[in-house]
Amino acid sequence: MRAATISCDVLVVGGGAAGVAAAVAAGRAGAQVVLLERYGFLGGLATAAQVGTICGLYLRDTAHPKATPVAGGFIMEFAGRLERAAGASRIRLDNGLWVLPYPPPVFASLADALVSESEKVSVMLHTTVAEAQAEGPRLVEVRALAWNEPVVLCPGAVVDCSGEATAAALAGAGVENGAGDQAPSLVFVMENVDPGLAERGLLEVRRELRQAVEKGSLPALCERLALVPGTGADGHLALKINLAQASSDLPLWQQMTAWERQARALVDELQRFLIANTACCRNARLSSVAPQLGIRSGRRIRGRATLADRDVLDARKSAQGVARGCWPMERWGNAPRPEMTFFNEGDYYEIPLDCLRPVELDNVLVAGRCLSAAAGAMTSARVIGTALATGWAAGTAAAFQALGRPLDDAVATLRQQMN
């Protein structure tokens, strides 16, 4: 079968939060953009994994009744439109952390609307990257399957928002595998649940699970059940089950398959147990299960700069900073709860542009959890709010590159937009 050839100024790989932001940014900067997405809908893990809350939009604050945005520009435009479309409002959790809850279908609809508003952006769904070819320091060709038909894409610049640095790695960029850094999770929704259960913090559910695990009637992993914030008041309760960390003995594709199958088996066992053994779920039923695991850490580039743990914890700023992060380090390991490491309230760190640029490739940028970061720093920078910010930065810089404008001008533009 002969492959169709498509040329563009900027190719964005991955239509999650970072990819949507990158495509919109590049289009608004005047570039002709092609956005590739492997699913039949946009949103990435925000929709496919039904994450349900956006973290990293607002500064941590235990005192004031209103949330303070970490930055201006696109991320606040996105948040405002999502709030209006979903009829949702930001909520404050423990330790002063603010999140924005959302229904995953509304997130997907907003992503569609944003890319559709730009005449510069073309979207290719059901499209998977298979090869990437570089000539010297430039990525010149990407081969993909679009609904099982081969296509060849010839971009001026590439933004890799795949979550696994797929295009960058295939083109020869140095990468490191962070799949074992954090445990993944699977979200599922139950309906007709006692509306007060979320307010009680799953208290009686946790008690029943502990007893069942101690008796050996449920696997120990079932104690890693957590609540998705902002759900439950209407009897629809979103929960997530956290799995064990990756095994170093398995290749990643095999680990992913094992995780997916294990998680769905656990959800089936859990929902049956809850209905049979807890009064709050006696009339409940399983409503939905996320199509994909929520992967918190994967493959990431070795960049021209690396976001260090101290950069996050000391809330360091940079003259080359193009995105802001404000979420604490949140490491999900093999304990039922995450390990949280905070920095000062009301503060943020900045991510330099060179954290989005692989060493080996001049016309490639990355965003989302592909960026160059130490393992601890990534536990903060991976969240959706920060992914929107790095996506916007990478898309803007890629457009400037493709259109022959200096990257220093892109940095200046981005810093002005953040303020």
Q: What is the pLDDT of residues 122-168, one digit of tens each?
A: 999 999 999 999 999 999 999 999 999 999 999 999 999 999 999 99
**Residues 318-335, mean pLDDT to the nearest whole number:** 95
Neighbours of 5 (CB within 10 A): 10
Return left, alpha or beta for 404; rule: phi > 0 is left, psi -120 to 50 is alpha, else beta. left
Q: What pLDDT is attached to residue 207?
A: 92
Q: What is the DSSP string of 269-295?
A: HHHHHHHHH-GGGTT-EEEEE-SS-B-
pTM of the model: 0.96
Q: Which residue carries 């040329």 as its tokens?
A: 7
Q: Which of 217, 210, 263 shows the shortest CA–CA distance to 239?
A: 263
**Residues 329-340, mean pLDDT to the nearest whole number:** 89
**Tens digit of each residue's pLDDT (9 = 90 or more) over 171-218:** 999 999 998 899 999 999 999 999 988 888 888 999 999 999 999 999
Contact 366, 161 (CB under 8 A): yes
From residue 185, alpha-carbon distances to 50, 120, 245, 338, 369 in Å are 11, 36, 10, 12, 16
Q: How far apart are CA 226 and CA 236, in angstroms?
A: 15
Q: What pLDDT is attached to residue 120?
A: 97
Per CATH, the number for 4-179+297-418 is: 3.50.50.60
**Tens digit of each residue's pLDDT (9 = 90 or more) over 375-419:** 999 999 999 999 999 999 999 999 999 999 999 999 999 999 999
How much is the mean pLDDT over the chain?
Answer: 95
Where do the domains of the chain lie?
Answer: 4-179+297-418, 185-289
User: Three-class SS of residue 30?
Assistant: coil
**Tens digit of each residue's pLDDT (9 = 90 or more) over 243-258:** 998 887 888 889 999 9
Q: What pLDDT is attached to residue 248?
A: 78
Q: What pLDDT is attached to residue 233?
A: 83
Q: What pLDDT is attached to residue 199?
A: 85
19 pLDDT higher than 90: yes
**Tens digit of each residue's pLDDT (9 = 90 or more) over 97-117:** 999 999 999 999 999 999 999
Q: What pLDDT is attached to residue 167?
A: 98
For a pLDDT cut of 70, what percent of the chain falls above it?
A: 100
270 pLDDT higher than 80: yes
Dihedral angle computed from the Cα positions of residues 140, 41, 107 and 111, in that order, rounded to the nearest 10 degrees: 40
334 pLDDT tier (thresholds 50, 70, 90) = confident
Q: What pLDDT is attached to residue 155?
A: 98
Close Cβ partners of 208 (under 8 Å, ≥ 6 residues apart): 273, 274, 277, 278
Q: What pLDDT is attached to residue 337?
A: 84
39 pLDDT higher than 80: yes
286 pLDDT higher than 80: yes
Q: Is 307 exposed, middle or buried (0-12, 13-18, 19+ CB in 10 A)?
A: buried
User: Three-class SS of residue 239?
Assistant: strand
Q: What pLDDT is attached to residue 209?
A: 93
Q: What pLDDT is attached to residue 250?
A: 83
Q: Is 416 exposed, middle or buried (0-12, 13-18, 19+ CB in 10 A)?
A: exposed
1 pLDDT higher than 80: no
